[in-house]
A = this chain, B = another copy of it.
Amino acid sequence: MADPRFFHKVGPFTAGRIAEAIEATVEPADQADRIFSDTGTLEAAGAHVLSFFENVKYKDALAKTKAGGVVVRPDHADRVPAGAMRFLTPLPYRSFALAVQMFYPDATVEPAVDDSAWIAEDAIIGTGVRIEAGAVIEEQAEIADGCWIQSNAVVGRGCRVGAGTRIGRGVVVTYALIGERCRIYAGTTIGTRGFGFAMDRRGHIDLPQLGRVVIGDDVEIGANCSIDRGMSGDTEVGNGTRIDNLVHIGHNVRIGKGCVLCAQVGIAGSAVLEDFVVLGGQVGIGPHSRVGTGVQMAAKSGSWRDVEAGAKLCGVPAVPIREFHRRNVILERLSRDRNARDDQS
């Protein structure tokens, strides 16, 4: 159970109501009024707790669980111990996530503007907005309804923040238009001057960076990330994309819809990620390269060429994942052979 210092639980709910909310079918149907008061892992769950099972690696935990109900795929229904209810769905992890959301809904924003916040006279502040201590809203910035600007965040001159978006503690937003329902976490900086200049040993010459950062709706950006504004034209992040911590996005990068960028990824200037691209931790994408829809790259890969849609790559330079493993096996054998020869000589 979550620490009540930090998390507020609601409920309980009946099995029937949960099943409806999480898009599952509950069995036995005649017990749909059984009561659930929390969600939890298979190991920790008790009689009124809902858990889930998807990966067969955990089949022993499932066999022993004392959970009152388990979210499972229909073809795993038989594995659920007798006595536990079954919540059947083709996507147990997704349905379980919806169940946890039921019990632990997002905190609602209590509208308030703290006296210590600095707000320019010509800034436009919507209704239901919360602006916390030490936050700064510069001239002509627009903060739409229901936004939550947390302590010590800065929204720069002329920026627009869409309805329901949260700007985390210490975040800096400049030269940016941000969509609705986004969450930008602590310490992230958006709109920094792109790294653009003419190299010159007498002194590098700035190329003024005259673009913006345009972020879609429902985007999540982790902590301590940096997203540079465009040089000419915009740096873009598409609807529903999720970005983890310490990620760098260079100027004029365009990221599509629903992408997933793990921690410490770096995207060099003018690269394009089409929709639903998934990049593992510490991946690097070279400048001006295009990564096709649905591409997946393993952690630590580096790619500086165009990658066709659907490819699954690994390594530096990134190659298909099977090719990566094959090359490793080859090196391993060469090394073993050499060792054997060394031993004989």
Give the interface size class of chain A. Answer: 35 or more
Shortest Cβ distance from A224 into chain B, in angstroms? 5
B264 touches A210 (CB 8 A): no
Name the B residues within 8 Å of A206 (CB-CB).
Answer: 97, 101
B284 touches A300 (CB 8 A): yes
Cβ of A147 under 8 Å from chain B: no
Docked pose: A96 CA to B5 CA in angstroms? 44
Q: Which residue of B lies closest to A304 (CB)?
A: B299
Q: Which residue of B lies closest to A242 (CB)?
A: B204
Q: Which residue of B lies closest to A281 (CB)?
A: B266
Q: Which residue of B lies closest to A246 (CB)?
A: B248
Stretch at the interface among A80-88, A121-129, A187-195: A187-195
Q: Which residue of B lies closest to A244 (CB)?
A: B195
A192 touches B104 (CB 8 A): no
Name the B residues within 8 Å of A132 (CB-CB).
Answer: 136
Name the B residues within 8 Å of A263 (CB-CB).
Answer: 195, 226, 248, 250, 266, 268
Cβ of A111 under 8 Å from chain B: no
Known A-B contacts A91-B198, A93-B198, A240-B203; A101 and B208 likewise in contact (beta carbons under 8 Å) = yes
Name the B residues within 8 Å of A40 (CB-CB).
Answer: 232
Name the B residues within 8 Å of A17 (CB-CB).
Answer: none
Stretch at the interface among A26-34, A62-70, A169-177: A169-177
Cβ of A228 under 8 Å from chain B: yes
Q: Which residue of B lies closest to A204 (CB)?
A: B242
Name the B residues within 8 Å of A315 (CB-CB).
Answer: 316
Known A-B contacts A101-B206, A203-B258, A258-B201; A154 and B157 likewise in contact (beta carbons under 8 Å) = no
B175 touches A172 (CB 8 A): no
Name the B residues within 8 Å of A7 (CB-CB).
Answer: 208, 210
Can you sample 29 A-B contacts with CB below 8 Å? Answer: A2-B211, A40-B232, A94-B200, A100-B207, A116-B116, A152-B152, A168-B172, A169-B189, A172-B186, A174-B186, A185-B189, A185-B192, A187-B187, A187-B188, A187-B189, A192-B222, A192-B245, A195-B222, A199-B260, A203-B218, A246-B248, A262-B268, A264-B266, A284-B299, A315-B316, A326-B335, A327-B332, A327-B334, A330-B334
Closest 6 CB pairs of A and B: A94-B198, A2-B210, A118-B133, A5-B158, A226-B245, A186-B189
